Chains A and B, each alone.
Chain A
Amino acid sequence: MTTESTIQFTPERLAEAKEIIARYPEGRQKSALLPLLHLMQEQEGWTSTEGMDYIARMLDIQPIEVYEVATFYTMYHVQPVGKHVIEYCRTGPCCLMGGDDVLAHLKQRLGIETGQTTVDGQFTLKEVECLAACGMGPVFQVREQYYMHLTNDRVDEIIDELSKQA
Chain B
Amino acid sequence: MSDKFNPLHYLDKRLLEEPIQEKRVFDWKTHLLKRKKEFFDFKFIVINHNNILHNELLIQIQSNEQRTQFKIPEQPNVKNIFLLKIHDAEKELKEFFYLPNNSIIVHEDISIQKSKQDLNVICNKENEYYYLTNHLSPQLFFNKIEFKVADKLKCFFITLNNNQKHKNQITHYLNPHSVLVHKNFSDIQKEQLQDDSIEVIHSKYSNSDIFYESLNRGKISTQINSIINRTSIKCSTKQSIKHIVLDKFAITNSKPNLIIENNNVDASHGNSIGYFNSEDIFYLSQRGFTKEQIYSVLSDSKLIEFISNTSINKQLYFYIKGLKHK
Pairing of A with B = no
